[in-house]
Structures are given as structure tokens and as C-alpha cells.
Amino acid sequence: MPLQTHEVHVATDSSEEIDDQLAMLYLRTVDVPMNLTFIFTGTSNITGDQSLKEFTDTFEPHIPIWTPRTRRETVRNVTLTTLETYKHSGPHNPDYFLQIAPMKNYTGHNLEVNQKYILAGDFKSDSPSFNMAGSEALTMKFYEQGKLVDISSHHMATMRFNEELLSKFTGPFNEYIVFTAFKLAFGRMHPKCPVAKKFAEGLVNPDVGRGVNYTSVMTIAKNLDAPAWQVVWPRLDESKKYFDDIFGDDWTDTNGSILKLDYICEILHWINVKATGNGDADLFLENGGEVFYSDFTVDTIPELLKPSWEYFKANASKLIDCFNPVYDLFAAYVMVGYIKGSQGGDPRPGRGRISHSVTDFQKNIVREF
């Protein structure tokens, strides 16, 4: 008896980081019958239409129509749309909805979900999840219906690549994995980003948030054998200016975030010296006494950072554990667990995947690709 084909809708801010695109590739090729609708929400920098076009131009041509594991063609309908179109059409009635992007105050007035509404992030938490921004009414709707599943942001942040998982991605998917790690090591959240006051400090200070950028840069330093004595010329001016630009001149650094950002900048300065061979180079002074922002693409890398980009690519094999967490790929993996559970009449496979360790995740998802 053939397995039921499930209707699955996914809200994505594809282009912000690479894990959205990896999640979409996984859902397009995993050996589970689905009709898929991907809803491009856009980001603080680009519209939903621009995000959709970027995906179709860069990634769509590299998505196979067969599952690599079984070599069997995946028969499924795939629709690409934007949030603006989605919220003015409908009604929509998927079996599963996966939210891996902020929903920009979409209330779900024309959306009903049959099985589960899965949120990549914490529904309620002392530290607000990025995907909850503008999603309060929508997530509350499905919480009250008993259909909301939220996935711990802290746990998702532990999900990483290993060599075998990385090998599943080729072409632009692989290139952007490396580039995203580089961009988020060298680039800070722009002070004018709408969520900078909520998240920028926590990205560079583990005492405030998850500190993923700080952790990645310190791991990069370890893997590239950066000398511990490197942090001897504090770059407090650049670090202080960054937080002043976000919070104002009267901001008081009660969490030691300026020093944490200073450590990051010193490691990046060291990488630049290694990349250029110029011990007198001062990366941040040459950038006008400012940090770099993560608003560049692989085609618009600042000239000052290009030597470091080449050095980073050349050493990529040493940096796999420094690559950014695969939050959204893990969220898609959790949703597939729920679908598989529903096919077998057992809800535990989905619920169990929420607490899977990074080792469990890597082992299972490699088999499913």
C-alpha cells in the first residue's frame, strides 16, 4: 500500500544564511512523499521576490530530481511563492507547516494546519528566538489548538556538520556553506538591522546570548593555531563604536561585550596578517576604524577581506567544526520525523528527534539524504 503524500508548507528567509537552502534541499530529496510549498518571506535586506529569485537562479538548477540514496525519482509537486502572495491567497490547509523564518506579522488568518505547526525556535523563552519576531499571533493560534511544536534554539545551535554530512552538498550549496562561515566570522550584524538591539550583543558574547559568532571565531583560532599571545593590542575603539552605534553613546557595557568583540577582532586581524603576509597591516584601521558588517555576498566581499577569504577557503578542511550551526536543517529533520511517525501510527519518532544529539542527527540525516 503506497504511503500517503503529505502537504507541507515551509516559511523560509532563504539568503540570510545557508541552512535554509540546506533544509530545502533535504526536503526536496528525502525519501518521504510530500507536496511542498516554500514561502519566501524576505529578510531585513531583501524582499520575498528577491529571495525567491536568488534561490531559483543560484540553487534550483543544482537540486536533483532523484534521491541520491535510492536513485529513485522523487515524484512531488513543488511550489515557490512569497509571503506577500501567500497571505493574500488561500485558504491554505497543509498537513504540516515548518517555520524557519520570522513571519513579519502574518496572523495566519487564511491558514489551518491538520497535524503540526513546527517552529524552529522557542515559543516562550527568557532569550527571544529570532524566528518569533512578528510571529506572536501566528504561533499563539496553533499553540491554543495544541498543534504547535517548538524546537529549542539552544539545542539547534549544537547541530553541526561532520565530514560525511558536508560531503552531501556540492556546487553552490558547498560554496555557500564555507562562505557563510566566513561571513559570520568576519561580519557583525549591521547596527541598523531591525533586530540588532535584541541579538547583536548575544552573537558576540556567550554571557548574553548563544555567542555563536564568538564560539566559531575562537574555534577557528584554535584550528588554525593562532597564538594565545595575539591579544595584546586591544581594539576597544572599534568594538566600543560598534555597540555605541547600536545602543547609543550612553550605553553601559555591563556584560563585558566590548572585550569579547575585541577578542574576535584580534583573531580576524591575525588571519589577515597570515593571509597577506604583511605584519604591519591593520585590517580595522584600514576599514575606517570600524568592524565589518555581514551584509555582503560572495560576489561583494569587501576588497580588504578578499585575502582572508582566500586563506579561509584554502584552510576549509580544518574548519568543518567552525562552520555555522545547521539550525533549519535540523528543524526539517524533526518535521520529517513527525511525518514518518504519522505514517506508522506512532508519534514518538518526531517527538524523539527534538532531543536527538548531534551524533544521532548526523548519523540519521546522512542516511536520509
Residue 218 domain boundaries: 176-322
At 75, is the pLDDT very low, low, confident or very high (cuts 50, 70, 90)?
A: low
CA 324 to chain centre: 7
Range with the poorest average pLDDT among 163-167, 321-325, 342-346: 342-346
Question: In 139-268, where do the E strands start and end?
Answer: 148-150, 187-188
Could you tell me if 12 and 153 lie in one domain? yes
User: Which residue has better confidence, 236 or 300?
Assistant: 300
With contact defined as beta carbons under 8 Å apart, do 32 and 70 qualify?
A: no
User: Which residue has better confidence, 159 or 129?
Assistant: 159
> What's the mean pLDDT in 212-226?
91
With contact defined as beta carbons under 8 Å apart, do 30 and 333 qualify?
A: no
Question: Is residue 366 within a helix (H) or strand (E), and if so which, with residue range?
Answer: helix 358-368
Helix, strand or coil, per DSSP, at residue 330: helix
Task: Report the relative pairing of strands 116-119 and 96-100 from DSSP bridges.
Answer: parallel
In a domain, 199, yes or no: yes
> What's the mean pLDDT in 76-102?
95
Q: What is the spatial distance between Cα 70 and Cα 86, in angstroms, rounded to a whole number?
A: 33
Angle between the N-to-C axes of helices 327-343 and 358-368, in degrees from 0 to 180, rounded to the nearest 10: 70
With contact defined as beta carbons under 8 Å apart, do 22 and 49 qualify?
A: no
pLDDT digits (tens, 9 = 90+) for 257-269: 999 999 999 999 9
In a domain, 18, yes or no: yes
The reported pLDDT for the residue numbered 172 is 93
Could you tell me if 180 and 252 lie in one domain? yes
Q: What is the mean pLDDT of the chain?
A: 89
The reported pLDDT for the residue numbered 352 is 80
Read off the C-alpha cell for 135: 510571529
Task: Report the relative pairing of strands 187-188 and 292-293 from DSSP bridges.
Answer: parallel
In a domain, 79, yes or no: yes
The reported pLDDT for the residue numbered 140 is 96
CATH number reported for the structural domain that contains residue 138 in this entry: 3.40.50
The reported pLDDT for the residue numbered 67 is 54
User: Which residue has better confidence, 311 or 322?
Assistant: 311
The pairs formed by 167-176 with CB atoms below 8 angstroms and a separation of 24 or more are 168/68, 168/366, 168/369, 169/22, 169/25, 170/62, 171/62, 172/58, 172/59, 172/62, 173/18, 173/21, 173/22, 173/25, 173/59, 173/62, 175/298, 176/18, 176/21, 176/298
Question: Is residue 40 within a helix (H) or strand (E), and if so which, with residue range?
Answer: strand 34-40
Choose the final residue of a domain: 305, 322, 339.
Answer: 322
Could you tell me if 214 and 296 lie in one domain? yes
The reported pLDDT for the residue numbered 71 is 47
